[in-house]
Structure 1
Amino acid sequence: MTSPRVIVGPPDAAAGRNVRIGDQFVGRAFALRDLVAFMQEAGLHDWDELDVVRSDLIEWRGGGPEVWGVGGSGSEPG
């Protein structure tokens, strides 16, 4: 079974990133832990933050997993 493609959009003005899994919008992530929660809710139960950072399944738009600031600057909030 293949896993659906995950698209993480660029940071918006509030530093949130829209997340799609397959064809479905699943929410806005503000940190890696949010993305992990979306992945787990989609049935990928063994995923953690390190898996999210390393995965080829995830397409990062407007910056990679380290970009969570407004307009793509800054870092993940603590």
Structure 2
Amino acid sequence: MARLVCLLVALAALSEGMVIIPWWRSATEVKSITWENCDSGKLPGTIKSLSISPDTVTIPGDVTVSLVLNTEVPLSAPVQ
């Protein structure tokens, strides 16, 4: 089940609007990230919300990512 969560997070990260910049480039801030569920209902879960703070992510720096996932598949602890 942890693989499902990782897959959904990866899908969100790769959705249209997010640009992944290699560390060796000169970018120092990420000001905008957008995401959408793009699996057409094929996966057993959906991302209900994804939040990243602070609003402008400074590189290098700290970032907090929060995710709410809805799944129709039973999960058992611990989910890793």
TM-score (norm 2): 0.28
TM-score by length of 1: 0.28
Point out the structure with the larger strand share.
2
Between Structure 1 and Structure 2, the one with more helix by share is: 1
